[in-house]
Amino acid sequence: MKDTYDVIIVGGGITGASLLYTLTRYTDLKKILLIEKYDDLATLNSNSRNNAQTLHFGDIETNYSAEEASRIKHEAERILRYFRMQSPGTNRDVIKKCQKMVLGVGSEEIETLDNIYKTRLKKLFPSSMELERKEIAKLEPYVVKDRKKEEEIGALLSKTGYMIDFGKMTHMFASQAKAVGKERVSLLFNTRVMGMEKRGKRYRVYTHKNEYFSRFVVFATGSYSLYFAKSIGIEKNLSILSVGAGFYTSRKVLNGKVYRVQKGGIPFAAVHGDPDIADKNITRFGPTVTIPPMLEKRHLDTVIDYMKTFDFDIPTMVSLEKILFNKDIRRIIGNNMGYSVPGIGKYSFLKKEASKIVPSLKFENLRLNGDIGGIRPQMIDENKHALVLGAGKIKHDGVIFNITPSPGASSCLANSLKDMQYITEYLGAEFNKGRYERELGKIHP
């Protein structure tokens, strides 16, 4: 079947591009096509404007269990190994070292941090350390400046943090994959996949212009992956709750990343302060939380598809009610609803969030930047009446659907490894495990 691809990847964000890279470098698959609906790679969540640019390592994520922290550390190490393989100069502006801190405000948070440090952090990250007020002031003067003396603070420090422009990394993956030659790898832009169907042993993938055939299909389409899974009649019990994110910016007031203590079981990261890899003169504060009825932020044409993916039926509504029964989730959504309202929203964001990190910030120092921030696709399981925390991977007879909330960019190589293993097994293709382990690290069962 001359015109049949081995694999079609739908979606040119970091998930799709890292899979393209992995398949071309470590397998003998001969014909791979990536289809992207916009005119460039990484225009949505993988774009550095739309995410928090953190290489998540498990050291500052206070909501992770020891097992989760150890897993994400292992996944992030693959990313560092990938960058170490590049020739000098290639990584410039793509990855930068930066210190990371989790700030505890008040005795309860400080005690939580102390407990995390003693029970798991010290063992997993021997170079991390606990900081008191004076030490915090040396590293992040604006975290202490103008803070009331009676307000207790403490922090955990990770000196070896990284920020990454995941958009540029997406381009690196794709151009390295393309370098193997046009006969093996093709990329199509401005081509919207509309659906697919099984025809014998192949899949027919149809776009708004044309049709393509493939032995295997991977949807790396962010929130849209569940939409496509449901369109072939599977995973009807799942829905997407789109968690939109916004960021405020100020002039540079932080040297590194300052996270806050985060409770477990909550799908929204607490507001943190970060440098911006693309603009060293600013600090970003966010993400804020909104629940927009759309699959892609700032793309109103995705509202109807959101409605189809959400299922406004009784089980979904009951699940939503149960999720909102959690008082922390209700409080976060309640507070955040107002943060995007002009004027009053900024005031309340400053008081409740940003000034907890940088007390000297003033109303006029902050600006809501409406052009940045993406959507975190959070799945609802209608059978369990609960949110599915973490990434979603649905495998179905020669098709994979990847749903990638945060920290999906940090996990992209770990994710593409899983996809590659399934694809090569399904198609009977070769996977060069030796080369993979030498370059990107050991594979654990």
Ligand X SMILES: Cc1cc2nc3c(=O)[nH]c(=O)nc-3n(C[C@H](O)[C@H](O)[C@H](O)COP(=O)(O)OP(=O)(O)OC[C@H]3O[C@@H](n4cnc5c(N)ncnc54)[C@H](O)[C@@H]3O)c2cc1C
| Residues that bind ligand X in the complex, under the rule CB under 6 A | 10-16, 35-38, 42-46, 50-54, 56, 166, 192-193, 220-222, 224, 245, 287, 373-376, 402, 404, 406-410
Farthest-apart Cα atoms in the chain, separation: 74
Nearest C-alpha neighbor of 3 from the set 146, 301, 221, 212: 212
Distance separating alpha carbons of residues 352 and 78, to the nearest angstrom: 37
Distance in angstroms (rounded) separating the CA atoms of residues 204 and 197: 5
* Residue 52 or 258 having the CB closest to ligand X: 52
Q: Of 365, 378, 277, give the one whose Cα is nearest residue 319.
A: 378
Q: In this structure, what DSSP letter does residue 54 have?
A: B
CB of 300 to ligand X, least distance (A): 15
CB of 61 to ligand X, least distance (A): 10
C-beta closer to ligand X: residue 50 or 91: 50
- Examine residue 287 and say whether the peptide bond preceding it is cis (omega within 30 degrees of 0): yes
Cβ 322 to ligand X, closest distance in Å?
24
Cβ proximity to ligand X: between 42 and 157 the closer is 42
- Residue 167 neighbours by CB distance under 10 Å: 26
According to DSSP, the β-strands at 129-131 and 153-164 are: antiparallel
* Least distance in angstroms from the C-beta of 79 to ligand X: 9
Residue with tokens 């410039």, as numbered in its chain:
92
Residue type, 15: T
* Radius of gyration for the chain, computed over Cα atoms and rounded to the nearest angstrom: 22
Nearer to ligand X, 256 or 407 (CB): 407
CB 247 to ligand X: min, Å: 8
Q: Are 285 and 271 in contact (CB under 8 A)?
A: yes
By beta-carbon proximity to ligand X, the closer residue of 130 and 290 is: 290
Q: Quote the tokens at residue 403.
A: 């749903």
Nearer to ligand X, 292 or 359 (CB): 292
Between 235 and 382, name the residue whose CB sits nearer to ligand X. Answer: 235
Residue pointed to by tokens 């659907």: 401
Give least dist CB 145 to ligand X, A. 26
For 40, other C-beta atoms within 10 Å of its C-beta total: 13
Closest approach, Cβ 130 to ligand X, in A, equals 24
How big is the chain, counted in residues? 445
Q: How far is the CB of 246 from ligand X (least distance, A)?
A: 8
Closest by CA to 145, choosing from 361, 366, 365, is 361
340 vs 432, which CB is nearer to ligand X?
A: 340
